[in-house]
Amino acid sequence: MRIKLTDKDALIVVDMQRDFMPGGALPVPEGDKIVPRLNQYIRLFFERGLPVFFTRDWHPPDHISFKDQGGVWPPHCVQDTEGAKFHPDLYIPPDNRFIISKGTSRDFDAYSGFQGTMLDQLLKERGIKRVFVGGVATDYCVKNTVLGAINLGYEAFLLLDGIKGVDVKQGDSERAIEDMLGAGAVGVEYEEVK
């Protein structure tokens, strides 16, 4: 399959933050291994003048998802901490980029980049019809962002070579990919897009 990029396309890079990388508070195994591939996508979109959106968890210290508050996760991506920063090797273009913070209020969790954010509005303002989504984790925030995009009427492309899952239960990532494709997402790799 060959995908021709148009001015109706945007890239969404999901949660490539230090806490989700090996050695972080909530590591995705080999999450850092997709940085070079994501950088290729980012440069491709940036060089064509297409918008690039970076989602990030940006939690208060007492966020509802943390174990101390009765949630399921260790504290991670707390606002203004080292762990909340993007991976140091991730290419962040100087302009035509947007940082989307989610999970910013204590009592509201957000796995999708669309939940409680301006992402949908920013895409619509730019006439975007198709989104290309990669990042971590396949089975949580990538899955929910892709499904959110489809539910909002976007055509969603899943970057199969630019995602990694956490697999809390064996096979979670594979099931997540099946769920996304079953909902209408199209799986692509870099060679089909560039």
Q: Which residue has the tokens 């993007």?
A: 86
The whole-number pLDDT of residue 95 equals 81
Tell whether the torsion through CA atoms of 166, 24, 131 and 63 is positive or negative: positive
Domain assignment present for residue 33? The answer is yes
Tell me, yes or no, whether 90 lies in a domain.
yes
User: pTM (2 decimals)?
Assistant: 0.97
132: three-class secondary structure by DSSP: strand
In a domain, 165, yes or no: yes
Does 2 reside within a domain? no
pLDDT tier at 194, thresholds 50, 70, 90: confident
Instruction: State the average pLDDT over residues 123-129.
Output: 98
Read off the CATH number of the domain in which 81 is found: 3.40.50.850
Residue 81, in any domain of the structure = yes
pLDDT at 76: 97
Q: What is the mean pLDDT of residues 152-158?
A: 98
Residues designated as active site: 15, 102, 141
Task: Report in angstroms the alpha-carbon separations of 45 from 69, 87, 122.
Answer: 39, 19, 16
Question: Does residue 45 carry a pLDDT above 80?
Answer: yes
Q: Which domain holds residue 75?
A: 9-193
What's the number of domains the chain is made of? 1
Tens of pLDDT, residue by residue over 172-193, are 999 999 999 999 999 999 999 9
Alpha carbons 16 and 54: distance in angstroms, whole number:
8
